[in-house]
Amino acid sequence: MKFKWFRYPVDGDGNFAELNEFLASHPVTTLRKDWVQGQHSAILVFLVEYSEGTETRSSQERAGSSDATKGLDDFELALFNRLRDVRKQIAEAEAVPVWSLFGNQALRLVVKQRPESLDALAAIPGVGKTRADKHGERLLSVLRDVTPSSGIPLSSPDKASDKKDV
């Protein structure tokens, strides 16, 4: 096993490109995230434990996009993408990687089950009580506001062209 550290100042731009690139190209065993408070500033530190092998899954396999969207109808796919947009907005606001919030499989289950309460959302694998309490209202508001007959566009105007592997 090998280890690699990544350090990001809390007051930085929230650009985790180097970390994401490393994670995409190495077989990761564990990932740990900690806040470290110095005398004058704080940093976000990631410790990545990885194996020396070079085989990695494709970014689509890693994100679970293909499996997560398989079998979704047009409305469900659009709703899934709206939830991904919300996840990305939360991640940017908190300066954390999107994958640390909700996985694509969890978002798929949210789309399929369409929970109506925080308790029902918390019961979905990959969400749990802590994430439901912290971010659940944002997800539930999308589910409440967007219905097949609502006529509301499902892609956020400012995020419509930003559908990269998130």
What's this model's pTM, rounded to 2 decimal places? 0.54
Please indicate, yes or no, whether residues 77 and 139 belong to a single structural domain of this protein: yes
Q: What's residue 149's pLDDT?
A: 64
Can you give the pLDDT at residue 53? 59
**Does 111 lie in the same domain as 64?**
yes
Window from 40-49, 51-60, 110-119 with minimum mean pLDDT: 51-60
Q: Is 135 among the domain residues?
A: yes
The residue segments making up the domain with residue 141 are 60-145
Regarding predicted confidence, which is higher, 89 or 62?
A: 89
**74 and 122 fall within a common domain:** yes
Quick one: average pLDDT of 140-163?
Answer: 61
- Band (pLDDT 50/70/90 cuts) for residue 160 is very low
Q: Is residue 150 part of a domain?
A: no
The count of structural domains within the chain is: 2
- Report the phi/psi class of residue 11: left, alpha or beta, with left for phi > 0 and alpha for psi in -120 to 50: alpha
Is the same domain home to 12 and 89?
no
| 107 vs 28: which has the higher pLDDT | 107
Residue 122 pLDDT greater than 90, yes or no: yes
User: Is 55 domain-assigned?
Assistant: no
Angstrom CA distances, 44 to 5, 28, 101, 147, stand at: 10, 19, 16, 38
Same domain, 45 and 120: no
On the question of pLDDT at 138 being above 90, the answer is: yes
